Structure 1
Amino acid sequence: MKVNVEVITGTFIDAEVSESATVKELKEKIATEVKLSVKRLILVVEDGEGIRRMVKDDEDETKLIELGVKEDSHMYLFFKHPDLVYKEERSQGRGDDASVEEVSSEAESNRGNKEEYEEAKGEEEDIAMKNGEEEEKNGEETKDDDNVEDRKKKAREGENEMDIVS
């Protein structure tokens, strides 16, 4: 039987499975299409009465027919975050020693540092622009072109320092 799977990204997958196929078999077929682990897939099925429900992980051995899936049924596919899959495996004692949590936290921390730097840099540029506008409003010519160049040079040096830190 053919089932239509709508991926959260907006794409569709037409999967051909047997009448007696299980949820796991369908997930395996979909996993090859989307190039993700079966463990990351979340299916939402619609029964014959138009009621949608998420298929739980412990229902992998359930036959699709038992869930109300039939020829040309429409279902939805969502993805679990890799960290969530890792935590689930770890809680079941199946995780390895390499900590995805630590890597993710470190990556998040680096991203935060870069965002803080960009925000500070933007504030400096805003202040420089305001100072320039105030000078023009007062009718004064900006004699401080050298100062502006110095500020730009310092900002570029700050960028280079951030690249080295990262």
Structure 2
Amino acid sequence: MRNRQRLALPSETGRIRAVRRLELALSLALLCQFLLGMAVNLFVKVPADHPGAKPPEYFSGVAQSVAWALAHGGIWLALHAGLGLALVLTALAALLTATRSGSRAAVVSTTVGFLAVLGAGFNGGSFLNYGEDFSSMIMASLFAVALGSYVVGLWRIPTVAAPS
């Protein structure tokens, strides 16, 4: 039996192009986020007693810490936190677009990327909450996983839907 390729519907092709654009945008934004993180590391001293620091409950502490970082953390920390929130939303948009694209490669790359961006964000919040260096290391490691996932997605996702 011959291996037959399925032609992509116009809507699938548009969604695949949208996923590729989102993955490229996410890759570039992640590189900017990494550079902002280095600026935070060099120029920002996060006080030990800001709102959200050492919380009794993790998630409410993260919300308070991120709100404090955006409003009172200084320009580098505010940009880093703000871009981090934008990355989570964009990564989610890429994942939702990929699930409708018909491309397994798109779904895999955006799922891994989204989970890595989300994990990096929570470890950024954890660093704000507790000030532990390992949270920063995990955040940087998950940045690398997310960037790698989106770059591999750009390489693996066809410009036209192929059979999955």
TM over 0.5: no
Higher relative contact order (CA 8 A, sep 6+): 2
TM-score, structure 1 as length reference: 0.29
Structure in which a larger fraction of residues adopt strand: 1
Larger radius of gyration: 1
Indicate the structure with greater helix content. 2
TM-score (norm 2): 0.29
